[in-house]
Structure 1
Amino acid sequence: KAFTVYVLGISLHRSFLQQGAGPTVGLSGLVASLTICIVGVVGMRGTTQQPQLFLGMILILVFTEVLGLQSLIVALILATK
């Protein structure tokens, strides 16, 4: 068997996994929200000049939101291992 270190009843391996899950969600959520902000501002300015850009802007916004959700899924996998 492998040597396992326990601190306050939680293994060291599990505590590092849970500690890594927090920044995973936090940083990628921050990046996703900044991307959504930039795309929203630039997209609305472009849509006022050319209305056919609206659908492309919405698609880009959806894809950037998926990045935030993907990080949440990765963090859940890390925290439940």
Structure 2
Amino acid sequence: MAESEIAPKFAPFFGMCLIPVVMSGIIAVYSLVIAVLIAGDMDPPSRQSYSLFTGFMHLGCGLAVGFTGLAAGYCIGVVGDKGVRAYMEQSRIFVGMVLILIFGEVLGLYGLIVALILNTKSKG
């Protein structure tokens, strides 16, 4: 009964508090893009065209996007938790929270860019 009485009071806050959740989902899309690109470069085992160099470059792609995604996810998790709690107390913190979340998201984007460059270099 208590939850139904509180929900209308905080209804405007619910949409804005989902921003960290959506931003953390974007990082997973970065990894999915790299996984699809790497899988597209692989051939069936009967052909011997997959060299050791290409394998290590693909490993580097996965590590680059994986570790930067891990760092960005940790940043978004910590900032999202503290930011949403602070936003429930004072609504003026929202713009600062979103800016810090964007800075955390950029870490994952840098990893995606590095992985795309490595994937391009692995073909030549």
TM-score if structure 1 supplies the norm length? 0.80
Give the one of 62, 79, 82 matched to 1:42.
82
Cα separation, 2, equivalents of 1:48 and 1:10: 54
Moved over 6 A (4+): none
- When you count strand as a share of all residues, which structure comes out higher? 1
Deviation of the 1:24 alpha carbon: 0.9
Cα separation, 2, equivalents of 1:45 and 1:60: 15
Conserved? CA contact 2:57–2:119, under 8 Å: yes
Give the one of 51, 56, 59 matched to 2:96.
56
Cα separation, 2, equivalents of 1:68 and 1:58: 16
Q: Per the alignment, in what secondary structure is the counterpart of residue 10 of structure 1?
A: coil
Question: Is 1:68 aligned to 2:75, yes or no?
Answer: no
Structure 2 match to 1:9:
49
Q: Structure 2 unaligned runs (5+)? A: 1-47
Conserved? CA contact 2:76–2:101, under 8 Å: yes
Number of aligned residue pairs: give it.
74
Cα separation, 2, equivalents of 1:32 and 1:77: 20
Cα separation, 2, equivalents of 1:18 and 1:10: 11
Q: What RMSD in Å do the two structures reach over aligned CA positions?
A: 1.3
TM-score if structure 2 supplies the norm length? 0.54
